[in-house]
């Protein structure tokens, strides 16, 4: 699935069902359909948003105790 920004309103048939895409809309659609409408200059691909999950804090390895250096 890809998210695209619709540049010009049009009616299409994603998944075989009639649907109107309004200018400015940003739907998430199947990759093949997204590639087709981007290729026809009806839309542009929206870059994937970075994950909102916080990165785990990197932990330095614990110093080994009771081991010779």
* Res 65 pLDDT > 90: no
Q: What is the reported pLDDT for 52?
A: 67
* Res 9 pLDDT > 80: yes
Of the candidates 45, 48, 35, the residue with the CA atom closest to the CA atom of residue 6: 45
Q: What is the reported pLDDT for 50?
A: 72
Q: In whole angstroms, how large is the CA radius of gyration of the chain?
A: 23
Rounded to an integer, what distance in angstroms lies between the CA atom of residue 36 and that of residue 2? 12
Per residue in 27-53, pLDDT (tens digit) is 999 999 999 999 999 999 999 777 666
The domain spans of the chain are 2-45
Q: What is the reported pLDDT for 6?
A: 98
């Amino acid at each position: 699935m890809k998210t695209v920004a619709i540049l010009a309103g049009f009616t299409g048939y994603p998944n075989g069902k009639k649907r109107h895409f309004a200018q400015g809309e940003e739907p998430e659609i199947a990759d093949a359909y997204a590639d087709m409408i981007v290729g026809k200059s009806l839309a542009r691909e929206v870059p994937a948003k970075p994950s909102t999950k916080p990165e785990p804090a990197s932990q330095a390895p614990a110093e080994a105790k009771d081991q010779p250096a």
